[in-house]
Structure 1
């Protein structure tokens, strides 16, 4: 019986491991550096349509390789990924790193954090 809580704890720890490997940038840092960054929203197309960071590219986390063409020629640029909670962004970041993208950061607080700072949202 004790094994189940331990396995659950291990799973929860590993589920957040991908996100922890990447630097985090605050919404203020991202906003101040927008022209130099490539913003990548890894939420579903429906979530993206409801509102996203202006200029972001939608690259659903569960279809990263299918959408890589949207990042063609961007391998040397700094990518900043976000979703709703960070979990999907961490998964997508790990996949992008395997595809040769090296400058990857996460938006601290993800989309809710961006909105809480009062920054513009594009629909």
Structure 2
């Protein structure tokens, strides 16, 4: 018999979270976006633990997440994946910021801004759209090249159905998106020192 992860609490809206922050009752905020996305814009007081790092070091992180945790990403999809990973490892009090940083900003809540960079979704649209456009045009002269665009379309369809994106994973490994990777020991030290 396989164990099922404990049920998680519903997502948390940006206005509700902003209210908790203003009242001094802010939960731990783990931002699971890439370091580049985090440096561009993030919620003050949040910790950057990219999704891959979180999955790899969730056991180490669990020991320091003994209170309510809200997972944050751009729109909520990666945060939901992080929620599954942490809930499966036994962290009971997890929530996802509904609509992510986009909703937080739309609610007029404060953010810390750095150097402007394109978010992952926009990068995927650029690469996929460019590849389909180029292979479609070249396919007029070279038979069969259009099939590359068809394969990309199939990949995007699979990404939508599975709520995962191989192209996004590959793009997240580019130097543009990586930047200095958050050191798990530093994040744990910050989690320990923050009341």
Task: Say yes or no: TM over 0.5.
Answer: yes
Q: Distance in 2 between matches of 1:24 and 1:33?
A: 14
**Which runs of 5 or more structure 1 residues have no equivalent in the other structure?**
1-20
1:1-123 aligned at under 5 Å gives the runs 22-34=9-21, 35-68=25-58, 69=60, 72-74=63-65, 76-123=66-113
Displaced runs of 4+ in structure 1, greater than 6 A?
A: none
In the comparison of the two structures, how many residue pairs are matched? Answer: 102
21-30 or 82-91, which moves further after superposition?
21-30
Higher relative contact order (CA 8 A, sep 6+): 1
Q: Deviations over 1:3-62 (max 9, x none)?
A: xxxxxxxxxxxxxxxxxx651111111112133401111100110011101100111112
TM-score by length of 2: 0.48
String of CA shifts for 1:74-101, please: whole Å, max 9, x gaps. Answer: 2x31111121121111111111112221
TM-score (norm 1): 0.73
Unpaired segments ≥5 residues, structure 2: 1-7, 114-195
Report the aligned-residue RMSD: 1.9
Over alpha carbons, which structure has the higher Rg?
A: 2
Residues 72 and 46 (structure 1 numbering): CA distance in 2 closer, same or farther, change over 3 Å? Answer: farther
